[in-house]
Every structure is written in C-alpha cells, then in structure tokens.
Amino acid sequence: MEDSSDYECKQSKIFRDFDKAYAEGKLDYLKQLFLPYILNNIADLYAFKQEKMKQFLEALDMHQILKLYLYYKQMPIDMRRYMEGQSQSIKEAIADTNKERQTAVSDWIKEHAARHRDVTIKTQCLFFEKIADQVIPPIEKALADYESSLKS
C-alpha cells in the first residue's frame, strides 16, 4: 500500500502533466470529441443524473453531475488513443526486460493498467473544467429534449 505522500506526489504530477499538455495543445483533440461523446451517451447520462439526484440530499448542478459522470463511468472519451497510449507504455516498459513478452505484458497490466486508466479519466475531468462553459448548455438542452421524449 502506498503512503499518503506517494499518493500526493502522483496526484500533483497528474496536474503538472495536464497543465503542460494543455498548454502545448496536446489535448485539443478532446475538444472535438467531448460533446459528441456525451451526446451519444445522453440516455446513460440522464439515468446517471436521476440516480445521483436521489442519492444526494442537496441538488447537484450540471457541472457537478458531469464531473461525477466522467469519473464514475471510467470510460475514456477516445478509446483508440487510450489503447495506443497503453500499448506504447507497455512497449517502453517491457523493452528492457528479460521476461517472455506475454508474461511481461501481463505483469504490466496487473501493475499499471489501473493507474493508466486513472490518469486518463482524471485528465478528462480536468479538461472538462476548461471547457465546461462551452459544453454545459448544449448538454442541458439535450437532456431536456431526452426527458421530453420520454414523456411523449
């Protein structure tokens, strides 16, 4: 089990890496993918919102709902890029190992796959913070339209 200082160091590295990647435009691809990803999953978002509104005593605003949705669902917005990044990380990690390739890949997945996904999801949440004002209005409209269609 890692101690709290290791955890804090890893967390702050995620923020530093995010800020650097964002400033360099390396996350610009998410701008084109974010809204379509949410809109393609509007029924799931609606069900998630309904569930969370029952669960929490105070009302949650759309900003909070979306952050929770992104984090709880644990789904990379761009699965292709996510898998390419994971593949590249595996190649780099096993390049200097004497283990059989299949064993080395299996060991990497056991030790690092959860961390890789966690960083991806946290990066998406941080990115959402940057574009929230742009994407919340169309998402709210899509949710209202979806709710209306359920009543029809």
Q: State how far the Cα of 60 lies from the Cα of 35, in Å rounded to an integer.
A: 20
- Which domain does 138 fall in, by range? 24-93+100-151
> Per residue in 83-103, pLDDT tens?
998 888 888 877 877 778 888
Q: Alpha-carbon distance 101 to 58, whole Å?
A: 51
Give 40-58 pLDDT, tens digit per residue.
Answer: 999 999 999 999 988 886 7
Per the structure, the count of domains in the chain is: 1
Q: Is residue 8 part of a domain?
A: no
Confidence of residue 152 (pLDDT cuts 50, 70, 90): confident
Mean pLDDT for the chain?
87
CA-to-CA distance for 124 and 69, rounded, in angstroms?
11
Is residue 75 situated within a structural domain?
yes
Task: Please indicate, yes or no, if residue 3 is contained in any of the structural domains.
Answer: no
Residues 78/27, Cβ–Cβ less than 8 Å: no
pLDDT of amino acid 100: 85
CA angle 128, 132, 118 (to 5 degrees): 15
pTM listed for this prediction: 0.77
Q: Based on C-alpha coordinates, what's the Rg of the chain? A: 18
> Would the CA dihedral through 75, 144, 131, 52 be positive or negative?
negative
Is 5 a member of any domain?
Answer: no
In terms of Cα–Cα distance, which of 117, 13, 135, 36 is closest to 73? 117
